[in-house]
Chain A
Amino acid sequence: MLTIDRATHDAIIAHARRDHPDEACGVVAGPIGSDVPARHIPMLNAAMSPTFYEFDSGDLLRLYREMDDNDEEPVVIYHSHTATEAYPSRTDINLAGEPNAHYVLVSTRDGAHESGPVDFRSYRIVDGEVREEEVRVVDRYSEGTADDGTVDHGTTESQEKAEH
């Protein structure tokens, strides 16, 4: 299960809408081993394409150095699909290089870039195997949020089509 705070969740959707029709991409870093996506880092899609995304190689190096310096890891790696569903493509699966990350996909198809619900889904991708997982949106993280799945603050919402 991915537990993510509402501000970050909404910021990812806003980023996807802003870059539509090109794919948007980025990372949410968090302390190593915490499974808490704490620091949102929107990245430039160097491919500037409606069907492909890739972090610029220089940006990638700087990002990983920064995370190393902060004892962080990429808890979430996200990108948008702008004309297809929020499900990993064959390319996404083949290129998934972070076995510990939650791969989040957002779809801005069918006018979702302007208004209405946006699909926000999360997956684990390991050795070519895709497993979808529940997304829990919380107002803020609480102690033990990621470890035991309990959330004692605010509303939770079982993924999919949140209204925005």
Chain B
Amino acid sequence: MAIEVRIPTILRTYTDGERVVTGSGSTVTELIDKLEVDHAGIKERLIENGEARRFVNIYVNDEDIRFTGNLGTPVADGDTVVILPAVAGGAV
């Protein structure tokens, strides 16, 4: 078992077009560090100054990590992690 990570279209350039990749780790931070090993460059798109980027949403088993401990949110084999760019913008 591993952790399933669903990759949004805009980040599939880092995963050779794959929609789903697998990873490991005990927290979201560790998971992203592991992803970076196989998919160099992806970490920069997810994390800025040690925090999850404001306009990238990361969900562990359907829970937005903003409500479950941010990058420290625990993950385990069998979990599903979904990454989605925010849909946002505005006139200013």
Contact = CB atoms under 8 A, between A and B. Distances in A.
Interface of A: 23, 25, 27, 43, 47, 49-55, 57-58, 60-61, 64, 73, 77, 79, 81-84, 88-89, 91-92, 95-100
B57 A92 contact: no
B50 interface: no
Contacts of A58: 64
A97 B92 contact: no
Given A61-B57, A61-B82, A92 B89 contact: yes
A95 B88 contact: yes
B88 A89 contact: no
Interface in B21-35: none
B87 A97 contact: yes
Interface in B56-92: 57, 59, 62, 64, 66, 82, 84-92
A53 B90 CA distance: 6
Interface of B: 8-10, 55, 57, 59, 62, 64, 66, 82, 84-92
A88 B89 contact: yes
B62 A96 contact: no
Contact of A61 (B62, B66, B88): B62
A89 B91 contact: yes
Given A95-B55, A97-B8, A57 B88 contact: no
A64 to B, nearest CB: 6
A91 B87 CA distance: 11
Contacts of B82: 61, 64
Contacts of B86: 54-55, 57, 60, 95, 97
B64 A52 contact: no
18 contacts: A23-B91, A52-B89, A53-B88, A54-B88, A57-B57, A57-B64, A57-B66, A61-B64, A84-B91, A88-B89, A89-B90, A91-B88, A91-B89, A95-B86, A95-B88, A95-B89, A97-B55, A99-B9
A74 B10 CA distance: 13
B63 to A, nearest CB: 9
Most buried by A among B8, B64, B91: B91
Contacts of A55: 86-88
B69 to A, nearest CB: 15
A82 B91 contact: yes
A79 B59 contact: no
B7 to A, nearest CB: 12
